[in-house]
Amino acid sequence: MANDPGEARLLNAAVVVAALGYFVDIYDLILFNIVRIPSLTALGVSGDALVSEGVAIINWQMAGMLLGGLLFGILGDKKGRLHILFGSITLYSLATIANGFVGDLVSYRALRFVAGVGLAGELGAGVTLVAEILPTRLRGYGTMLVASVGVSGAVVGNLVAKLTDWRTAYFVGGALGLGLLVLRIGVRESRLFDKVRHDAGIARGDFFALFQRGDRFVRYLAIILVGVPIWFANAILVAFAPEFARAMGVTGPVSAGDAVMFFYSGLVVGDLGSGLISQWLRSRKKVVLGFVSALAAAIALYLTLGQGASPGVLLGLIGLLGVTSGYWAIFVTVGAEQFGTNIRATVATTVPNFVRGLVVVVTMAFQWARPSLGLVGAATAVGGVTLVLALLGALRLQESFGRNLDFVEE
């Protein structure tokens, strides 16, 4: 099926809107990590509870994303990719604005859960739409741009949080999301989805179909495992960088906002790099294997940082974590390319959110191990497990570079 002239351009409406949508998504997703200490302090939390309560709120947000990924993924295959794009951003924008009014921890947790449900739909819908609209030769570049522009939202989030108070930062994030709704009015639905939608004999959005055949389940599990180390680095090593700095004897304080900014700045570089290298090598799998290995080395450097290092050195290592985590762009592309049109949105939306949802397991394991192994020891043990599983998953991936996406799962 031929693309229309607009769809054949890299910077078409779908790519631009998906990139801006993911930008707002990341801004809202990571904002709690940036404002964790000032917002919790304002609500009366102090001392070690800043870590434990911070973990609890992150877990509520990620649990919401796990639920939202399933709901929006199925909706995307049953009703269309655009339904996700409109519904998800409306939900998380309103919840984020409401976060600016919280006065107690119960409300904070509840609203981050609701925001998580909404945030779950953005990336999967955008990548699925872009992958299906662009011609094969441009697909990798399109998803690379979506991911690279998107992750820069964390950098802007840190700047906004520095220039305003934490409540205003939430208001800005919600307002950006609602403003983006206007741009989405002119975006067209994927022609591949339209083709499948009008075929009554094809089952769409069947999540359980992923578990009905062994090879299909292995593909699904493998891609999920590949992404977990990125969020281990993000939710543990970056989010709690102030605590790691003290535990490792860094000579000065490191703010959570600066840690997030350095990580996501590195992630922009890594996403661009992984996308370009993938196009050059004509391979997704080789790039994933290479970046997972590089991330393992970066995590090892971070956790073995000696006493007396400067804050700048630690922030530099956090930036390196971001660069080596930059296979996120390839990761989400592979998720869309591995499966047929009738369950593609379900996979592309659930996979990154199951990865994010597994943050709950990762942080619980980290919290469980911390009393006996200490902060650094617990991170080393948990991080090692995630990396081994990611490498095993990467080895089981099918090469999907250049694959024609006009197919369905039987």
Give the mean pLDDT of the chain: 88
Mean pLDDT throughout 79-87?
81
Tokens representing 135? Answer: 């011609």
Lowest-pLDDT range of 1-15, 166-180, 314-328, 385-399: 1-15
Check: CB of residue 89 under 8 Å from CB of residue 118.
yes
Q: What are phi and psi of 348, to 5 degrees?
A: -65, -25
- HSE-up of residue 47 (Cα within 13 Å, Cβ side): 1
Tokens representing 212? Answer: 């009905």
Lowest-pLDDT range of 91-95, 262-266, 352-356: 352-356
Q: What percent of the chain has pLDDT over 70?
A: 97
As a whole number of angstroms, the distance between CA 226 and CA 39 comes to 33
Check: CB of residue 68 under 8 Å from CB of residue 118.
yes
- Residue 5: predicted pLDDT: 47
As a whole number of angstroms, the distance between CA 354 and CA 331 comes to 13
As a whole number of angstroms, the distance between CA 176 and CA 28 comes to 10
- Residue 8: predicted pLDDT: 60
**Residue among 399, 134, 122 nearest 282 (CA):** 399
- Residue 43: predicted pLDDT: 94
DSSP designation for 304: T
Question: How many angstroms separate the Cα of 2 from the Cα of each of 135, 141, 179, 197?
Answer: 9, 19, 32, 18
Higher pLDDT, residue 120 or 167 = 167
Mean pLDDT throughout 143-163?
87
Structure confidence at residue 1 as a pLDDT band (50, 70, 90): very low
- Residue 288: predicted pLDDT: 95
Check: CB of residue 223 under 8 Å from CB of residue 355.
no
Q: 3-state SS of 188-217?
A: CCCHHHHHHHCCCCCCCCCHHHHHCCHHHH
Tokens representing 1? Answer: 């099926």
Q: Which domains does the chain have, with CATH numbers?
A: 13-191+211-396 (1.20.1250.20)
Check: CB of residue 327 under 8 Å from CB of residue 274.
yes
Check: CB of residue 85 under 8 Å from CB of residue 51.
no
Q: What is the pLDDT of residues 44-55, one digit of tens each?
A: 998 888 888 888
- Residue 2: predicted pLDDT: 42
Which residue reads 């099918």 in tokens?
A: 398
Question: How many angstroms separate the Cα of 70 from the Cα of each of 206, 229, 344, 369?
Answer: 11, 21, 12, 30
**Cβ contacts of residue 153 below 8 Å, gap of 6+?**
22, 23, 24, 25, 26, 27, 28, 30, 264
Neighbours of 286 (CB within 10 A): 16
**Residue among 269, 396, 371 nearest 327 (CA):** 269
Neighbours of 374 (CB within 10 A): 12
As a whole number of angstroms, the distance between CA 129 and CA 123 comes to 10
As a whole number of angstroms, the distance between CA 190 and CA 121 comes to 16
3-state helix, strand, coil in the chain (%, to 5): 80, 0, 20
Side chain identity at 23, as an amino acid letter?
F
As a whole number of angstroms, the distance between CA 374 and CA 62 comes to 24
Angle at 129 between CA 123 and CA 263, to 5 degrees: 30
The phi-psi region of residue 309 (left if phi > 0; otherwise alpha if psi is between -120 and 50; otherwise beta) is beta
Neighbours of 129 (CB within 10 A): 31
Residue 120 pLDDT exceeds 70: yes
Check: CB of residue 288 under 8 Å from CB of residue 330.
yes
Structure confidence at residue 7 as a pLDDT band (50, 70, 90): low
Which residue reads 């925001």 in tokens?
A: 115
Tokens representing 308? Answer: 């007396």
Angle at 164 between CA 158 and CA 170, to 5 degrees: 70
